[in-house]
Amino acid sequence: MPPTWLTVLAWTALAVASACAAVILIDIYGRGYRQRHMPVMEAVWPITALYFGPVAVWGYYRFGRPASTRWLREHGLRHPPDKPGWAGVAVDVSHCGAGCTLGDIIAECGVFTLGATVAGAALWAEMIGDYLLAVTLGLAFQYFAIAPMRGLSFRKGIIAAAKADILSLTAFEVGLFGWMALMAFVLFPNPHLMPTSPVFWFLMQIGMVLGFFTAWPANVWLIRRGIKEAM
């Protein structure tokens, strides 16, 4: 069993992350700071807060809120202020990470509920489920960002989304899966942590942060090649 201090830390981290996601949701839907051109970001910011906590809240108020119609009206502007290059990459990665995070949460719960295994191990079933759902939801998130912005048809939008996000999604999952393997084989080999444990989700938060940084170089490359646009 995880030590008591780790369980307390896990509950604290999960509570803080949940509160951060709630802060962003309340600001968007309660206070009316709706995103002007990319409504999908209204989901991206709170999902990012589920693993990045206060960092996501800072990023939202610094770079997300200025993209809202209300903020622009309050400041007498027609367009959001320009972001530094690193911020554009960070928003791109968070956009990719939101699809991965949501897919990972759903897949982890599904694999646990079904008791699914591959080659006798739940870890491989988790990784397969995580990746498939991450790609599905990641493409959906990217489609709803690219297609409206470029005025693309469904077919062209999906193709553009795949070009922009498959590499990024894979790079994110590489960081997460490496951490999951460390969790399963080194940190808690016997018994394995289950999704019923707060420590499991706390460690998954860490894995998602690692995935954010392993996806960063891929997004920089995609932006420089003109395949993806900095948000």
Closest CA to 18 of 105, 95, 78: 105
- What's residue 230's pLDDT? 72
164 CA to centre of own chain? 15
Q: Who contacts 187 (Cβ-Cβ below 8 Å, separation ≥6)?
A: 203
The pLDDT of residue 6 is 93
Q: What is the pTM of this model?
A: 0.90
Q: Which residues of the chain have pLDDT under 50?
A: none
Give the DSSP letter of residue 82.
P
Phi-psi region of 151 (alpha: psi -120 to 50; beta: other; left: phi over 0): left
The structure tokens 């007498």 sit at 76
Query: Which residues are within 8 A (CB) of 112 and not within 5 positions of it... i.e. 6 or more apart?
Result: 122, 194, 195, 196
What CA–CA distance (Å, rounded) separates 114 from 126?
A: 11
Look at residue 68 and give its three-state secondary structure.
Answer: strand
DSSP conformational letter for 161: H
pLDDT at 33: 93
Q: Tell me what pLDDT residue 226 has.
A: 82
**pLDDT for res 40:** 84
> What pLDDT does residue 2 have?
83
State whether the Cα torsion 128-219-181-193 is positive or negative: negative
What's residue 165's pLDDT? 81
